[in-house]
Structure 1
Amino acid sequence: MQLTPPRLRAALLAAASVALLGAGLPAPGPLGIGDPLFPNLGNPGYDVLSYDIDLTYGGDNSKPLAAVTTIRARATQRLEHLNLDFAHGTVQSVDVNGTRAGFTTTGEDLVITPAKAVREGRRTVITVKHTSNPAANSADGGWVRTADGLAMANQADAAHRVFPCNDHPSDKAYFTFRVTAPKGRTVVANGLPAAAPRTLKGLKGAKDGVSWTYRTRHPMATELAQVSIGDSAVLHRTGPHGLPVRDVVPAADTELLEPWLRKTPEHLRWMEERVGRYPFETYGVLVAQATTGFELETQTLSLFERGLFTGTGFPEWYVDSIMVHELAHHWFGNSVSPRSWSDLWLNEGHATWYEALYADKHRPLEARMKAAYGQSDGWRRAGGPPAAPRPSEPGQKISIFRPVVYDGSALVLYALRQEVGEAAFATIERRWVSGHRDSVATTKDFVTLASEVAGRDLAPFFEQWLYGERTPPMPGHPDWRSATADGPGRPANH
């Protein structure tokens, strides 16, 4: 740990924390909120209201960024210690409500000891001066080093490898990003610009720098945060209802990528016809010169690998459907976020459903669902049922993104539509995203809504489809059979 100057003051604060512990307070340690898949993720005792993240990028994406993260939160209980999720950075100082606080790191938690205990109900400001190290994040997520700079890929539990936070989707908050980068680089983040870019003199490591500020208008889960820094072009167009559509692409690729980018307004209209108005202030595609192995629905600015659009291995309709998959997440997963990661099927099942529906003319939906049914038992054995997935393997945190939460969960939605009819299914979908907009929801909430719309208790239906070890018979298709062998996986689209 690198201590902020003067070293003696910080050392005394740390010693004071130890003295307090000796007086009978519990020893600081990693907490977590007990998520079934990530039990050490998130922290009890407070509700984050907003993040203000200040980053300074010197131009070398292998070196740590200087950073200051300011968190405004409301304490939900008296706090002698306050835990944040944070790893892969060096903490230099912590202030709580303007007063220097003691701190230590344990596991992937930053444990803060305020000078005074935080009272229940009090609004609290936590300011952490730290570094953010992109070189440490390649295997675990967080910063993605691109050919020309940086981007973020924080799903499922990697935002705390970029900035201190309460890294769980159940605690959504508003975000402000202030990012300084060398002149000539372009910075884009979630939300919309909150101020014009401002030129600064004497940026460390460069002659001049430019400071960029973005702010979200809707609360966001930490795993959906996005900051892009690079030699980028920002392209603007208009979507339905005058929605600002903003794409961020390598500057040299604007003409090459334009045939794909101009599809987005139509994708937006298609989704709105099915589930209602787009829920955020802007949308767009971020094309990164990086190999990640996935695409990602970061809020208002979905992350895509450049190779998806420039490679020759995918037909046009398939790429179109993947673009719709990430867009659909903005209703399912972003606006309506999961209460726990075991509710992931609500995100990925819905995004895969609309992906499949969009591609129906080229790969018929019923044929895709029949194929998924044939593999469903194998997927359940390999990864657990859709709403009770098994935890990830050690060292493979994103392995929760298994076939059972993609086509295996879209199959549940197909079965629901078969069970209640297309009109009722459409009502369920619209009411789900409108009733839980900017909030979090659970599998139980979905079952309750579906039962209300259908006019009968669907809990037994969902119990079999979401929690059963074997795939139930498909309504309307008694002839469908599930094979006994495990089926192959599918490309990862988060």
Structure 2
Amino acid sequence: MPLLTRRLRAALLATASATLVAAALPAPEPLGIGDRLFPELGNPGYDVLAYDIAFTYHGSNTEPLDAVTKIRARTTAPLDRINLDFARGTVQGVEVNGQSVDFGSKREDLVLQAPRRLPAGVPLNITVRHTSDPNGSGDDGGWVRTADGLAMANQADAAHRVFPGNDHPSDKAYFTFRITAPHRLTAVAAGLPVEKTRHGSSTTWTYRTEHPMATELAQVSIGSSAVAHRTGPHGLPVRDVVPAADRKKLEPWLKKTPAHLEWMEQRVGRYPFETYGVLVADSPLGFALETQTLSLFGKSFFTEPAYPEWYVDSVMIHELAHQWFGNSVSPASWSDLWLNEGHASWYEARYAEENGGPALERRMREAYKLSDGWRADGGPPAHPEGPAPGQKLSLFRPVMYDGSALVLYALRQEIGEGAFDRLERTWVRVHRDSTATTADFTRLASGIAGRDLTAFFDGWLYGKKTPPMPGHPDWSSAKPA
């Protein structure tokens, strides 16, 4: 609907003046921050500092949740309107800096009329009362229905199908979650528990993050769950959330997490967050997801007898590695995704090699054979192709996984193991709790190597063809079909 102030709307109704109608504010339009792959994702003009999101779950995972999303932000440019990313919910009312405001929507943007023109550098407090609808979720993400409730799978561009916000990883913020559900259910979320309050037939669970988080990494789970607690390195609280009926069956896998944490810390440094654990959803998920502090897995991943132990362990390492690469150090744009998936695949492959899986060199040689085909199908690692007309973009192609781990293998071959290990540790330390770009990584690598690696990275990250592998002149890549 057009964005009209209440006073202006009253004047229009009173006068029925065509000239006043023509002078009314224009209809809402979607904006974006200019991401090459998601041009309408994210919003200009403000920086979100914190979210406070309250969900009320009524006991059915087909019924919309009642929700209130509070956003504490700061303007970075003068604003007459404020765009939020939001879809798949009904908005009942909005306040900006304590005043009710008019709002409209266009495509997947919720557009708010500011109560007055807001200059740059001032506080911006937004309250949106809305529903959060699990219906329609599927391959496009958002809420995931489980056998006993709901969980979230927001990557890459689906958090705004759950709650309004600035849905781009370049704008990380602190989160508080307040989940109200029937007594018989357990609610968990990213971060640490703050409070648990019973009232009537319901319980409200409150969780808060101690580190900033990208919207795509948010996690809330509601269901008939058991929460298993254990201790990780340096006294780190580890909590796993599993279907209550499967707790004993899953324990042999869950108890591995402290050792997995120690393995990663030996290679890249101390775990970057306040807690970690595994969320096992009773849902036919075809993927795992590195939601911050609580990685999401489908139950069948742990119960499928065809999966060898080393494989299950290595995928658990993949999601754990993301807590450093992708979560603590987040991509500044979605074209930087190779930094997330390449590193997670790299540590997955290294763990597999040490624990009964294929040798790293063998896996990388196989990836090299396929690399030209992967680049032809989806673009080079740091410049993935956009969507075909009318089709939803899928970023998560093979070139992002082993195709990007191959870049790291080539880099280690080029600069040596010692320099490579220093690069990895320095990268996650320097950019902790922030975002970073491919250019940041290549610049740091050159500094640690003590020489300009621009030509090396240009070929490996942006070339249509895979460059020769340092140290392996006999490796070849098959021609794309």
Per the TM alignment, residue 200 of structure 1 is displaced from its structure 2 partner at its CA by 1.3
Q: Residues 21 and 425 of structure 1: is their aligned pair in 2 closer, same or farther, counting only changes over 3 Å?
A: farther
- The match for 1:419 is 414
Matched, 1:316 2:313: no
Partner of 1:402: 397
* Mapping of residues 63-78 of structure 1, within 5 Å: 63-78=63-78
Query: Counterparts of 1:21 and 1:281 in 2: how far apart (Å)?
Result: 54
Query: What pairs up with 1:48-447 in 2 under 5 angstroms?
Result: 48-195=48-195, 197-201=196-200, 208-361=201-354, 362-393=357-388, 397=392, 399-447=394-442
Residues 1:16 and 1:32: Cα distance change in structure 2 (over 3 Å): farther
Paired AA for residue 426 in structure 1? D
CA–CA separation in structure 2 for the residues paired with 1:62 and 1:395: 28
Cα deviation digits, residues 266-313 of structure 1 (max 9, x gap): 100000000000000000000001122110000000000100001122
Shift in Å, 1:184:
1.1
Contact 2:175 2:208 in 1 (8 A): yes
Q: Match of 1:15?
A: 9
**Is 1:484 aligned to residue 465 of structure 2?**
no
TM-score, normalised by the number of residues in structure 2? 0.95
Contact 1:424 1:453 in 2 (8 A): yes
Structure 1, unaligned runs of 5 or more:
2-9, 202-207, 487-494
Give the stretch that moved more between structures: 333-342 or 387-396: 387-396
TM-score of the aligned structures, taking structure 1 as reference length:
0.93
Distance in 2, matches of 1:165 and 1:81, equals 14
Q: Which amino acid aligns with 1:199?
A: R
2:234 alignment partner AA = H
Q: CA deviation at 1:53?
A: 0.2
Identical aligned pairs, as a percentage?
68
2:338 partner letter: W
How many Å separate the matches in 2 of 1:463 and 1:232? 48
Over 3 Å counting, the alpha-carbon distance change for 1:23 and 1:14 in structure 2 is closer
Shift of residue 398 of structure 1?
5.9
Deviation at 1:392, TM superposition (A): 3.5
Using the alignment, how far apart are the partners of 1:163 and 1:394 within structure 2?
Answer: 27
| CA shift for structure 1 position 120 | 1.0
Q: Deviations over 1:342-392 (max 9, x none)?
A: 000000000000000000142100000000000000000000000000124
Q: What secondary structure is seen at the aligned counterpart in 2 of 1:445? A: helix
Q: What's the CA shift for 1:124?
A: 0.9
What's the RMSD between the two structures over aligned residues? Answer: 1.8
Measured after TM superposition, the shift of residue 22 of structure 1 is 4.8
Q: CA deviation at 1:24?
A: 7.4
Per-residue CA deviation, residues 72-102 of structure 1 (Å, 9 max, x unaligned), is 0000011000000000000010000110011
2:181 is paired with a residue whose SS is: strand
Q: Tell me which amino acid in the other structure corresponds to 2:313.
A: D
- Whole-angstrom distance in 1 between the partners of 2:441 and 2:22: 48
Ranges in structure 2 where 5+ consecutive residues have no aligned partner: 13-18
SS of the equivalent of 1:256 reads helix
**2:176 and 2:208 in contact (8 A); partners too:** yes
Q: Which residue of 1 aligns with 2:16?
A: none
Aligned residue pairs total 471
Amino acid across the alignment from 1:108: E
